[in-house]
Amino acid sequence: MLLEFIAQTLNSTGDFPFSIILWSILILATAAFIQATVGFAAALFGLPLLLWVGIDLMTSQVLIITAMLPQNMFAVWKLRHSIDYREIVFPATIRIGALPIGVAGLALVMSWSAESINQFVGLLILLAVIVQSFVDIEWKNADHPFWIIVTFGSSGILQGISGMSGPPMVLWVHGRRYSADRARAFLFAMYISNFIPQICLLHYKFGTTVWQAVGVATLSIPFVLASAALGLRLGSWLGDRWLRPITYVCLLMLALSSLLDPWLKW
């Protein structure tokens, strides 16, 4: 009854027709499935798909970070024995401190045409794939304060402007040769740390539309969690050797489709 009431309320505003709500839930569930399967890429997959169905960049970002929050919290709880909270404080502080720059950039990007925004997102995805390709390289001075500031400052800006902030942090944790559980626990904790500051900044800049997007994302949470559970099983069954190349190919296709969007319409 509560979910039905939320859906009716959102539908009555006109900002979220029922068809858009359904598309949002489907895309968010798919993004959760992919992230649970390969360990990353919820925003990289979800953002361009949400844009393609007609949802603006800010709303798409809120949908993704809200829908993925329960999944991230559950993962942190499961991996709590792999977390050293002392090593999270400094990077998280830098990342949150850089968020306002990213949100200001988002406000600028929102003034662009839909085609330009799609191309911008496609470029970010392409750069993310390139960065991810270096994850096997050891980064001996990654723990130097300068590189921590660069890594998590850039991640905070990317989080604010697009919600796609994972690649710099993924490169950093793998460069430090973290174990798989320690790396995932660290990354999920980072994603959780910025949620409340980011929502508050977005509300300050864009108003109540933010909370309508939070409502739609809330509707998707049962489907997101179910998809994530399936993704975890598939990931364990297939293994990283097959999944990562397939994921990168799909991401490249999404990036190129977004970049070439004006010409593909002809």
How many CB atoms neighbour CB 127 within 10 A?
14
* Amino acid making up residue 237: W
The Cα 154–Cα 113 span in angstroms is: 25
pLDDT of 8 reads 57
Given a contact cutoff of 8 angstroms between Cβ atoms, the answer to whether 21 and 7 are in contact is yes
The Cα 125–Cα 19 span in angstroms is: 26
HEC string for 41-110: CHHHHHHHHHHHCCCCHHHHHHHHHHHHHHHHHHHHHHCHHHCCCHHHHHHHHHHHHHHHHHHHHHHHHC
The CA dihedral of 130, 159, 89, 148, to the nearest 10 degrees, is 40
Tokens of 216: 């739609």
The Cα 134–Cα 182 span in angstroms is: 19
Given a contact cutoff of 8 angstroms between Cβ atoms, the answer to whether 120 and 261 are in contact is no
Phi then psi for residue 179, to 5 deg, are -65, 165
Provide block-wise average pLDDT over 10 residues at a time, the chain (266 residues): 52 69 93 78 89 94 94 83 88 96 96 91 89 74 89 95 88 81 85 95 94 92 89 68 71 84 64
pLDDT of 210 reads 94
The Cα 253–Cα 250 span in angstroms is: 5
Given a contact cutoff of 8 angstroms between Cβ atoms, the answer to whether 209 and 58 are in contact is yes
The helix/strand/coil state of 248 is helix
The Cα 9–Cα 6 span in angstroms is: 5
pLDDT of 7 reads 55
pLDDT of 238 reads 65
pLDDT of 2 reads 47
> Residue 185 contacts by C-beta under 8 Å, 6 or more apart in sequence?
75, 76, 79, 80, 82, 83
Q: Write out the DSSP string of 139-169.
A: -TTTTSHHHHHHHHHHHHHHHHHTS--HHHH
